[in-house]
Amino acid sequence: MRLDLTHIQRWIEPGSRVLDLGCGNGEFLQRLAKERQVRGLGLEIDPDKITNAVSRGLDIVEQDMDAGLDNFPDQSFDTVVMAHALQAVHYPDRVLEEMLRIGRQGIVTFPNFAHWRCRLYLGSRGRMPVSRFMPYNWYDTPNIHFCTVTDFEALCEERGIRILARDMVGNTLRRPLLASAWPNLFAVTAIYLISR
Amino acid sequence: MKTSTVGIVAPQRARFEEPLTLACGRVLATYELVYETYGTLNSARSNAILVCHALSGHHHAAGYHSADDRKPGWWDECIGPGKPIDTNHFFVVSLNNLGGCHGSTGPVSINPNTAAPWGPDFPSLRVRDWVHSQARLADLLGIDCWAAVVGGSLGGMQAMRWALLYPQRLRHCVVIASALRLSAQNIAFNEIARQAIQADPDFAEGHYLTHNTLPAKGLALARMVGHITYLSDDAMANKFGRDLRSGSLELGEEEIAEFQVQSYLRYQGSQFSGSFDANTYILMTQALDFFDLAREYGDDPVAAFRSAQCSFLVLSFSTDWRFSPSRSREIVDALIAADRPVTYAEIEADEGHDAFLMPIPRYLALFTAYMQRVRGDC
């Protein structure tokens, strides 16, 4: 279980309806179903991940977020989750707007591109960072829209999106203080609970 | 005979004496349904799967009728030990629908009132008539609630109708390569098929059985038209391309060249016309044309699906142009809007509509994964 998913769980009400955009193999939805008794639906486009998620007993719809989400009615879910996919969609701003049209609240997680290691890598080598967390070369990566904690909050401000809570995850569990105090420098992963 | 098979199976016959009022208003006083079963019904009677057949299908879905049978049942790729509908765990019921020509009461049966074959006087049927008759078969077999009702194409329409008419009697509904209703283009192809049959002088306005003729040419032509719609452009290109069966396209050659695809279609047509009844073909294509899941729900499929209580698996195939992926998406979107549990995937496949009968690895893997969930709910 990825660290950011553990954080998300407490924001999800038991028995609520959850849409997971880019649900992967459904690990998170399965856990929510078990521990929070949610009624979940996952969206995914990778065939093997879909089969894997279905074998966990989950409902999965093969659908590409970049082609739109207008088949989902307004306010039809309690929570719409998008974990580590914001940086991989064509129009992150539109997806955010759609999340809050479909759901009462949204939960977004993304890798913070302004983490000091990224800055150091880019600053010292002058090349796009490649690491354990971002293992792709710039020319062959699903991550086409990297952003920083500050970028994201600026976008929310501009679009009138309310940040209800945020959680910053540092590169080790023992040092959460740095990540909370200076998130744009020390957060590896940013987690936001948002609403209209 | 392949190893992972249900083996030798024998059809069974059920007779129903309670009159069945049909959607058209007419009443069938008695009727018979021919069916096969595979696997074992558990003591809780909770592991039963109903398989609904498509336009030209029948009860023989899996296994062999004898040791010398060359071909297994029509859905043997998906039904059997270790297959998606795993007969080690499920009790599978597959019937020939009412109006069919493989043993169930239909146009080739004797009309008790006239002592002659029903022929074209057999009542017009709707998908819901099949569902009601299937429910009576379930009663007879002691099955209160199906673990799943499963069908491809026209079979998927029956499965969806089950979910609306008997919401308490199925836990899962599996709809493969199907649609909420036919498009104008779908109906147009069916009309050509019917016209081909009716234009054959041997059709005798449907009374060919009493005239001792058979509209074989018309039925073959109808099948040829239908068959084209089951295949994709790519599938035909891969299978035949422009290969010639005889003659040549060289200049100066007088003999007319014949393409492989021509002889293939003629073979398919003649095979079919020897094993299928023309009146049944007309009746089945009409049932397809008339099917419209949401018609009496104000043409709103969302309202229609609100009366369903089961979970749904919907599958489509990328090159299917008869019931294309976008038709399946209409089903899925309505289910999402109706807040029904749904799983959907579009399977990449070259085989067109026929893909639902083929052993495509992703299709089988996903179908298997879903059926394991069905098993968990038994």
Instruction: Label residue A173 by pLDDT band (50, 70, 90).
Output: low
Q: Is the pLDDT of residue A174 over 70?
A: no
Predicted ipTM of the assembly: 0.94
Q: Indicate if B333 belongs to the active site.
A: no
Q: Which parts of chain B have pLDDT scores under 70?
A: 1-3
Q: How far is A60 from chain B (nearest CA, A)?
A: 5
DSSP line for A79-145: EEEEES-GGGSS-HHHHHHHHHHHEEEEEEEEEBTTSHHHHHHHHHH-S----SSS--BTTB-S---
B344 to chain A: closest CA residue: A61
Architecture per CATH, B187-285: Orthogonal Bundle (1.10)
Instruction: Look at B373 and A72 and tell me if their CB atoms are within 8 Å.
Output: no
B29: closest CA among B20, B38, B37?
B20
- pLDDT tens for each residue of A98-146: 999 999 999 999 999 999 999 999 999 999 999 887 889 999 999 999 9
Q: Between chains, do A47 and B343 touch, taking CB under 8 Å as contact?
A: no
- CA gap B148, B161 in Å, rounded: 13
Per CATH, which fold does B12-181+293-376 belong to? Rossmann fold (3.40.50)
A130 touching B (Cβ < 8 Å)? no
Examine the pLDDT at A191 and tell me if it is beyond 50.
yes
Q: CB B344 to CB A61 under 8 A?
A: yes
Q: Which residue of A has its CA nearest to B316?
A: A62
Report the pLDDT value the prediction gives residue B1, as an integer from 0 to 100.
47
Answer yes or no: is pLDDT of A1 > 50: no
Q: Do A50 and B345 touch (CB under 8 A)?
A: yes
d(CA B96, CA B78): 18
From chain A, the residues in CB contact with B366 under 8 A are 47, 50-51, 54
**Cβ pair B345:A62 closer than 8 A:** yes
Beta strands in B300-351 (DSSP E): 311-317, 342-347
- Is residue A2 pLDDT above 70, yes or no? no
- How high is the pLDDT of residue A72? 98
Residue whose tokens read 């740095």: A178
Mean pLDDT for A56-70 is 96
Q: Do A55 and B362 touch (CB under 8 A)?
A: no
Q: What is the C-alpha separation between A102 and B157, in angstroms, rounded?
A: 29
A54 to B370: CB separation less than 8 angstroms, yes or no: yes
Going by their DSSP bridges, the two strands A189-195 and B311-317 should be labelled as: unpaired
- What pLDDT score was predicted for residue B253? 82
Mean pLDDT computed over A73-96: 96
Q: Å from B348 to nearest chain A CA? A: 10
* CA quadruple B219, B222, B224, B226: dihedral, nearest 10: -130
Given a cut of 70, is residue A175 above it in pLDDT?
A: no
Q: What angle do CA B336, B338, B341 make, to 5 degrees?
A: 55
Domain ranges of chain B: 12-181+293-376, 187-285
Select which of B320, B324, B328, B354 is catalytic: B320
pLDDT of residue A132: 80
B329, B339, B369 ranked by CB distance to A55: nearest = B369
In a 13 Å sphere around the CA of B221, the CA atoms on its Cβ side amount to 14
Task: Quote the minimal CA–CA distance from A101 to chain B in Å.
Answer: 14
Phi, psi of B141 (to 5 degrees): -85, 0
Per-residue model confidence (pLDDT) at position B198: 98
Q: Which of residues 45-84 of A touch B (CB under 8 A)?
A: 47, 50-52, 54-55, 57-63, 71-73, 76
Indicate the average pLDDT of chain A: 92
pLDDT band at A178 (very low <50, low <70, confident <90, very high): confident
Indicate if B153 belongs to the active site. yes
Chain A hits for B325, Cβ within 8 Å: none
Domains of chain A: 3-113+142-195 (3.40.50.150)
